[in-house]
Amino acid sequence: MSIGNDWQSSTVGGFQYSDNNSVYAIGAGVEAPISDVTALVGRISYNKYFDSKLGHHWTYSFSINHWLTEQVAGVASVAFRGSDSIIYTVGLAVRF
């Protein structure tokens, strides 16, 4: 389970668009170690906006995690949101 924020900004043909919404996700995945501190991860998740009029979507993602400590990892990922978006992410993950 995760909680996050979806921020978008783009300009097409002189028209500027931006959006900022909170979202939560429930998913499942597989983590495959490639060293003692690094792993590849594949995940599928159901994502729903807190503002219910914005709907929901499925996301398929692939990432690499590098554990900096026992509980904190640096993460880089690429996700596919249905057939309309590709999302690149860099951040930190916390293990409980």
pLDDT reading at 83 higher than 80: no
Neighbouring CB atoms inside 10 A of 63's CB total: 21
Tens-digit pLDDT profile for residues 27-82: 999 999 999 999 999 999 998 989 888 888 898 999 999 999 999 999 999 999 87
Instruction: Report residue 64 as tokens.
Output: 């690499």
Q: What is the pTM of this model?
A: 0.64
